[in-house]
Structure 1
Amino acid sequence: MSDLTDLVRRHVREGTAPGIVAALGDAGGGLEVAAAGDLDTDAVVRIQSMTKPVVAVAALRLVARGGLGLDDPVDRWLPELADRRVLRAPGAAVDDTVDAEGAITVRHLLTCTSGYGMILDDSPLRRAMADAGVEAGPEPVTLAADAWLSALAGLPLVAQPGRTWRYHHSFGVLGILLSRVVGRPLGEHLRDDLLGLLGMTDTGYAVPPANAHRLPAAHRRLEDGGFVQVEPAGAGHYVAGSTAERSHDELVSTLADYAAFARMLAAGGAHEGEQVVDPALLVALRTDQVPAAAKDPEGFFPGFWESSGWGYGVGLEVGGEHAGRFGWSGGLGTDFWVDPDTGRYAVLLTQVEMGPAAFRLLADLQSL
């Protein structure tokens, strides 16, 4: 039994998750896969924020072709975001605003510095986001793409564009932007321009009804070590025949599919002899792009900025033994990382909301 198989079996026995699948691979094509519990390697799972690196790569492919510029104002395609208003202070009333000093750009979206994002402390803006149906949380989005953007555009920015890092919402906006740039739903564009190229045939904004049996239930881990189901198996938001209005949503994927994506990144952006990501743009993707002054220590989980940076859709280690390693997690216990120095990568999929047990699993996988 391999160390990877032993690890996933042990964590299922210890109650980390009802099921775990994982892969360790390298840019040359080496791949080790392990599964334990009620997940198998063919499961199509909700990858949540591991969508962000995929959308970032899709955006950079358009940048490389000249269809989009990193410093292009987004209101050219998203007129809803013209003439933004900005809160006078983060805790101010939503009508206590000043003019934005500049436009939101594509770079701001990729670096989560657009002025939109999660508000962790209670404030008028956080309550207004919840009332408008655009607050980030564990539940799937309920608004269609254009309605979601319209609701978000009705609210002020928490900070001037480029001044403060705030997680999550910039990538929903980026997805809608890409769909308007290419003139069709983002899911179709991803399939034809990126996912198909990498053989990621099971990745998309929902599981087709014919494959619903491959979608496992999602769970929350209780303090007593048990689990409660938070999303059903084979049903719900992530089973759909059409995803035309989901350009702001999050993807489902499989172990094999995401391993192909991670291998491409580990191989310098190349796949089967074709350059998928421009090498210079890939270096930028995995380089810290957030100015020190924008790294609000209150804007994410404690200690994040002490050892991490943010590139284009990925987090990266900025010091220590694995400096330069990059990747990202999803809220339902999914994770991947790539080590550009060794060409190795890892992918981990569960369907349990993140918590202390999941973070221990991630640390154990890193140790391999």
Structure 2
Amino acid sequence: MGFDQARLARMREVMGGYIADGTLPGAVTAVSRGGETHIDAFGSLSIGGEPMRRDTIFRIASMTKPITAAAVMTLVEECVLRLDDPVDPLLPELADRRVLVSPDAPLSDTVPAARPITARDLLTFTFGLGAVPGDVPIAKAMHEAGLSPSPVDPGIAPDEWMRRLGELPLAHQPGEQWLYHTGSDALGVLMARATGRELGDVLRERIFEPLGMRETGFCTAAEDRVASVYMPDDGVLLPYPVSPSAPPDFGSGAGGLLSTADDFLTFYRMLLAGGTHEGTRILSRASVELLTTDRLIETQKPSAAGALPDNMGWAFGQGVVTRRIGMPGVGQFSWSGGFGTTAFAEPAEDLIAILLTQRALTGGAPHFQDFETTTYQALD
């Protein structure tokens, strides 16, 4: 079980084309199957800059989410957290919630929450707030409070972020509907308060150090290896300045990490191995199942329209294919980051594939689709 080398060359040719035509300044790809791994660097770290390297560091944005969820499950396994206990003792800002009578209602038109919010609600993105679709009052209020799904102000303190979140009504009753993003940031605060540690330390001690992910964190001193982020604007790539070296006050569990292809490959290998790494168990097989299989029921999915394809469900922290409509098979789990990164793994094929760029996602991403297609066509 591995790759057809001629077809793997096709993948490199296709991805190289996106560098040649200026779509991407640079990229790193990694594909791994059955003990065979290929990692390639294309283009440059920045437009006109140094050549891209295998160990280039990327802002992985929302690819942070499955890592956050995995760290939560380590605390669940130690009985520090429980999936179905109310989070009120640690997140009192989320206690005694009010809920809008409908997602488009005025902020004052509310009813009491039917039940408390749990860690499971945060992990499944069904706690009641997130990327509320449409130009509605709650979406505007989240944006004005700095809570909308976009990079969190690194200067905001976690307690202040929670205070702002706690001042808003929920868009849905807890457990009723999937809304993207915000649950992961709340989980970061939950873990920090549960352990008495900053989130960066929690992730380092529970995930990064056990897995040897030495290049992953909320900041890095190796600025010379950090790829520049670009924002497409009418056919032009404009620099998007983000400091990689300053530790943020708010380590975003939804999108704040920097990482490398090798580090994220190690994380996904652990999941494919049922929670083990080099003979050491990091997570139980039961936790890995929760992290890699659909956790939503059908009634929770209507609000996911547009954010999740209709052939995908949601595990703890990432999407999972529930019906084949293209190359990916049922059981493939994956997620992408808004700064231009994506990763997927398919257990049935023992396959992991990672594409890291720093062209921010502002619309379609044909290079993502072509990377996925050329990965699958290269399977031997």
For the 8 Å contact 1:85–1:100, the answer to whether it is kept is yes
- The offset of 1:145, in angstroms, is 1.3
Q: Please name the residue that 1:217 is paired with.
A: 228
The CA distance in 2 between the partners of 1:30 and 1:70, in whole Å, is: 37
Alignment of 1:143-222 (within 5 A): 143-208=156-221, 211-222=222-233
Q: Please name the residue that 1:135 is paired with.
A: 148
Q: Note if 1:323 corresponds to 2:330.
A: yes
1:288 to 277, 286, 294: 294
For the 8 Å contact 1:220–1:353, the answer to whether it is kept is yes
Which amino acid in structure 2 is aligned with residue 47 of structure 1? I
Q: Note if 1:87 corresponds to 2:91.
A: no
The CA distance in 2 between the partners of 1:187 and 1:144, in whole Å, is: 14
Which amino acid in structure 2 is aligned with residue 217 of structure 1? S
The CA distance in 2 between the partners of 1:231 and 1:337, in whole Å, is: 28
For the 8 Å contact 2:100–2:110, the answer to whether it is kept is yes
1:264 to 270, 283, 299: 270
* TM-score using structure 1 length: 0.91
The CA distance in 2 between the partners of 1:305 and 1:98, in whole Å, is: 31
Q: Please name the residue that 1:96 is paired with.
A: 109
Q: Please name the residue that 2:3 is paired with.
A: none
CA displacement, residues 147-186 of structure 1 (integer Å, 9 cap, x when unaligned) = 1111111101000000010000000000100111111101
Q: Please name the residue that 2:82 is paired with.
A: 69
CA displacement, residues 17-73 of structure 1 (integer Å, 9 cap, x when unaligned) = 1111010013x5421001111132222111010000000110111112222111111
Which amino acid in structure 1 is aligned with residue 68 of structure 2? V
- The offset of 1:356, in angstroms, is 5.1
The CA distance in 2 between the partners of 1:273 and 1:85, in whole Å, is: 47
Question: Per the alignment, do residues 353 and 259 of structure 1 end up closer, same or farther by CA in structure 2, a change over 3 Å counting?
Answer: same
For the 8 Å contact 2:342–2:355, the answer to whether it is kept is yes
Q: Please name the residue that 1:229 is paired with.
A: 239
For the 8 Å contact 2:62–2:335, the answer to whether it is kept is yes
For the 8 Å contact 1:267–1:343, the answer to whether it is kept is no
Which amino acid in structure 2 is aligned with residue 342 of structure 1? E
Which amino acid in structure 2 is aligned with residue 268 of structure 1? G
* TM-score using structure 2 length: 0.89
The CA distance in 2 between the partners of 1:231 and 1:191, in whole Å, is: 26
Which amino acid in structure 2 is aligned with residue 2 of structure 1? A
Equivalent residue pairs, number = 356
Q: Please name the residue that 2:343 is paired with.
A: 336
The CA distance in 1 between the partners of 2:186 and 2:362, in whole Å, is: 27
Deviates more, 1:105-114 or 1:256-265: 256-265
The CA distance in 1 between the partners of 2:300 and 2:309, in whole Å, is: 11
Q: Please name the residue that 1:124 is paired with.
A: 137
Q: Note if 1:78 corresponds to 2:88.
A: no
Q: Note if 1:274 corresponds to 2:284.
A: no
Q: Note if 1:5 corresponds to 2:18.
A: no
Q: Please name the residue that 2:306 is paired with.
A: 301
- The offset of 1:243, in angstroms, is 4.3
For the 8 Å contact 2:146–2:153, the answer to whether it is kept is no
Q: State the secondary structure of the residue aligned to 1:125.
A: helix
Which amino acid in structure 1 is aligned with residue 321 of structure 2? E
User: Gaps spanning 5+ residues in structure 1: where?
Assistant: none
Q: State the secondary structure of the residue aligned to 2:126.
A: coil
